[in-house]
Amino acid sequence: MTRMETFPTASATQVIERLNKALARLQERDAALLDATASERSIACRLACHLQPLFPDWDVDCEFNCWAAPGQQKGHLVVGTTSAATEACTIFPDLLIHRREHGERLAVLELHTSSHGRARHLARKKLKLCQERLNCQLALLLELGVDESRGEHQLEVLDRP
């Protein structure tokens, strides 16, 4: 007998509200990381820890690489290169809110800090690629304030392609 499971879904508004709660918790509990301008991976990991209790029916993973798409090795999203490039670029989403066992993907989040010089358009390009390839309902681009900008953040919700 096949058992079909039904899970509650979350709207974009609910995801953003929960993200804001997790960001408040991050500011409260992990201020030392933000003041010290810790790496984006360290901050993303802590943000995931604060998000998980807010999404009890979902899995929240950092740098997730355990999917397999047709024609790809496990976990690889390869970005096209130019003739001047010497290596292909493999990317993983900073944060993924999904159901590992069922292949449902609620949101992909790209995080970058205010101290990072990376252009916003490159982060947006990576995020759009992740959203498309992973078939995520939501794509969120978060610029998180660190050091003197701690407590400030900008959130952009990308339209689905």
Degrees, nearest 5: CA angle 123-128-130: 95
Domains of the chain, earliest start first: 12-158 (3.90.1570)
* Tens digit of each residue's pLDDT, the chain (161 residues): 333 444 455 788 999 999 999 999 999 999 999 888 888 889 999 999 999 999 999 999 998 876 555 444 444 444 554 445 445 466 788 899 999 888 889 999 998 887 765 667 788 888 898 888 888 889 999 988 888 878 888 899 987 76
- Where on the phi/psi map is residue 151: left (φ > 0), alpha (ψ -120 to 50), or beta? left
Degrees, nearest 5: CA angle 149-154-160: 155
Q: How far apart are CA 19 and CA 15, in angstroms?
A: 6
Measured CA distances, 139 to 35, 110, 146 (Å)? 27, 8, 22
